Structure 1
């Protein structure tokens, strides 16, 4: 079980496949399960590396949960794994971490930012909190959802992988405080995907992010906050095409 350490906090990650490394960073509080459909699509032509953020899954809790610290955690993971450059794929807070990483460190080859806003000020953390309650499917999926997996099976994965309440609240606070600064300074090639019906992040805020990044492409994705699961085939096709060209 590979583990990196940053400032005394143990960080769990898994890697599979060969080729260029693609790193997956989850939404605040969600475990590695939430990238399962993209992980499987990427592993093979690429190496897939999935990170459990601090306080989540098999990583240790504790310390500072600021976005900059989470970016430093990622640097510790890539250094431990011997990865010299990587494509970063982040959802929500994971996208904020990917962007912060690209601004502070030098291993980011490209960024794929899924339902990530231009500022944490627009994030509805009350709606995000509902993603961890009984009504979570209503936040996660549209009424048209037919299932990438049975909901009770997903619930079982979540019980094992998702962050507990204390870590979750600290991750939510970090998300609210997210401020990337001057977007024109981020010159890493980027793909921004905005979920059209997310109750957590307005789709317009995702488009604003893409517009501000000098080397970004933008595309809408049907569905609610976990649109990349509900419409995984379309998202995977778009992600792979972006990675192949990056």
Structure 2
């Protein structure tokens, strides 16, 4: 299996296919590197597509110490994958946990990103729900550790923003749950405690986001309630950003609506590569209703 070793000695499994401009796909907590299969198959026609299993997700290494997991280390792992493959710049695409990683990648390594796609990201960001989210994250970690991924996967997979996927595509949802059931109990628990429960809110990053000039596409589902307001915040804060809201859609965007998701990304990439995805026109004043003079 192809592997890259991070600066702190963690082995990461990766897969790549295709030639051309690189795209790096970063998966969500409930998925793994295989979750990007609809995108890997579609974009390999004209791009070099790379996906990898985050630390804690077999066949990547599973550190036993929770301190080996953090938002900063997640970003460092993404950079290590690019470095290991000799890639200077890539389109960075992340879902949920991977979307948070993508935001931080853009803040700390803007020179390595051709563009950022931040999909389904926002859980824990809303200040009124911040402590609740941290508590629930720790509860989920406990469930993975005590019940195990195999027993807990159907419960986790039936969350309020996952049932949309189940209703639209029962076979696809079942594959998602079966994949989740194979996760490492230790890796899932440590990821939830070390990354999810500790990461900062987007609102805490406002000044850094205002300075980030990387072309950014934000994608959310309209029934993924705790990502809607964070998505709007990112749109209002990141200068060269656009927001797309998919109707009647939950959290698992790239699997739930693969055709729509792929079409959005394809158009976005083309505009970025043509230099046509620019910061918002300063004449588009947010406070203006109609121009009178």
TM range (shorter): 0.7 to 0.9
Q: 1:220 is paired with a residue of what secondary structure? A: strand
CA distance in 1, matches of 2:89, 2:165: 39
Instruction: Map 1:88-167 onto structure 2 (within 5 A).
Output: 88-105=92-109, 106-117=111-122, 120=125, 122=129, 124=133, 126=136, 129=140, 133-135=153-155, 136-138=157-159, 139-142=161-164, 145-147=167-169, 149-160=171-182, 162=183, 164-167=184-187
Provide the residue aligned with 2:284 in structure 1.
none
Contact 2:92 2:102 in 1 (8 A): yes
Asked whether 1:87 is paired with 2:112, we answer no
CA distance in 1, matches of 2:4, 2:117: 23
Provide the residue aligned with 1:177 in structure 2.
198
Give structure 1 stretches of 5+ with no counterpart.
Answer: none
- Cα separation, partners in 2 of 1:148 and 1:88, compared to 1, 3 Å: farther
TM-score under structure 2 length normalisation: 0.74
Provide the residue aligned with 2:3 in structure 1.
3
Q: 1:134 is paired with a residue of what secondary structure? A: helix
Provide the residue aligned with 1:215 in structure 2.
240
- Cα separation, partners in 2 of 1:178 and 1:155, compared to 1, 3 Å: closer
CA RMSD after TM alignment? 2.6
Decide which moves more: 148-157 or 49-58: 148-157
Provide the residue aligned with 1:66 in structure 2.
70
Mark the structure with the bigger radius of gyration. Answer: 2
Contact 1:118 1:209 in 2 (8 A): no
Decide which moves more: 212-221 or 130-139: 130-139
TM-score under structure 1 length normalisation: 0.87
Q: 1:110 is paired with a residue of what secondary structure? A: strand
Aligned residues: 243
CA distance in 2, matches of 1:27, 1:143: 15
Structure in which a larger fraction of residues adopt helix: 2
Output one character per residue of 1:54-97: Cα deviation in whole Å (capped at 9) or x when no partner. Answer: 00131101252111111111111111111111000001110111
CA distance in 2, matches of 1:37, 1:232: 7
- 4+ residue runs over 6 A deviation: none
CA distance in 1, matches of 2:252, 2:123: 18
CA distance in 2, matches of 1:150, 1:229: 7
Contact 1:23 1:88 in 2 (8 A): yes
Provide the residue aligned with 2:54 in structure 1.
53
Q: 1:202 is paired with a residue of what secondary structure? A: helix
